[in-house]
Chain A
């Protein structure tokens, strides 16, 4: 199976909004509403930020939002803060297994 496609990097200034894309196929992202997004700081375990395309777990700021159109899912971070600087990974159900994206390094300028 192929990893989902994410841009290697993204950036924005404090207070701005940034959107990270995650492109798959009709066999994964496009076929199911089971897309998750994770935030990972260096040396730490990933943290679930979004589940089921747009569902935010308790404790996750509402600055983080998710959406999907066709085979592409997106994570938007609004009102960027310094602590949002991290790696972000998408994940999707693919029929009988799950697959991650290649990750996006978000830099807060």
Chain B
């Protein structure tokens, strides 16, 4: 059974760096073709794709946010970490991590519950 869960601060101040951790079970990031990605959703708004990391350490970023994002994996801990620098109130959103693999290329078939991050001074 595949599960993912996001963790991190619920409140960050403008200009601070956000660090979110996705802890997963039921699959391994050592398996070829497996990936974990991040998506966010501001309150009442649409989904926005952020970043994706594969088991071979191939990384993909949203072009509009690439300069602010870093995605890494810790295979031994079954974790993927997303950092976003220079946070702004417009970054207030629910952040989701999700699983993908070769069965559904680029499609996220398992999602975490999401974590709401508010950016405010």
Q: Hey, which bits of chain A sit against chain B, CB under 8 A?
A: 1, 3, 34, 36, 38, 40, 45-48, 51-52, 55, 57, 89, 91, 93, 96-103
Q: Contacts A34-B106, A91-B106, A97-B60 given; indicate if A46 touches B113 (C-beta within 8 A).
A: no
Known: A47-B111, A91-B49. 6 other contacts (CB 8 A): A36-B104, A38-B108, A45-B113, A46-B47, A48-B104, A51-B103
A97 close to B46 (CB less than 8 A): no
The total number of A-B Cβ pairs within 8 Å is 73
> B52 in the interface, Cβ–Cβ < 8 Å?
yes
Closest to A6 in B: B46
A98 close to B52 (CB less than 8 A): yes
Residues of chain B with a CB closer than 8 A to A89's CB: 46-47
Chain A contact surface mostly:
strand
B108 close to A1 (CB less than 8 A): no
**Mask: chain B, 4-38; 1 = CB below 8 Å from A; 0 = not:** 00000000000000000000000000000000010
Q: How far is B104's CA from A69's CA once the two chains are assembled, in angstroms?
A: 20
Chosen A-B contacts, 24 in total, with CB atoms closer than 8 Å, are A1-B62, A1-B63, A34-B105, A34-B107, A36-B107, A38-B108, A45-B96, A45-B112, A45-B114, A46-B108, A48-B107, A48-B108, A51-B106, A51-B107, A51-B109, A52-B104, A52-B105, A52-B107, A55-B104, A89-B46, A97-B49, A97-B52, A97-B62, A98-B60
Q: How far is B112's CA from A75's CA once the two chains are assembled, in angstroms?
A: 24
Residues of chain A with a CB closer than 8 A to B37's CB: 98
> B48 in the interface, Cβ–Cβ < 8 Å?
yes
Q: How far is B111's CA from A102's CA once the two chains are assembled, in angstroms?
A: 19
Closest to A37 in B: B107
Closest to B110 in A: A48
Residues of chain A with a CB closer than 8 A to B109's CB: 48, 51, 57
Per the 8 Å Cβ criterion, residues 42-98 of B in contact with A are 46-49, 52, 60-64, 96, 98
Which of B47, B61, B98, B113 is within 8 Å of A103, CB to CB?
B47
Closest to A4 in B: B46
Q: How far is B111's CA from A89's CA once the two chains are assembled, in angstroms?
A: 15
B104 close to A97 (CB less than 8 A): no
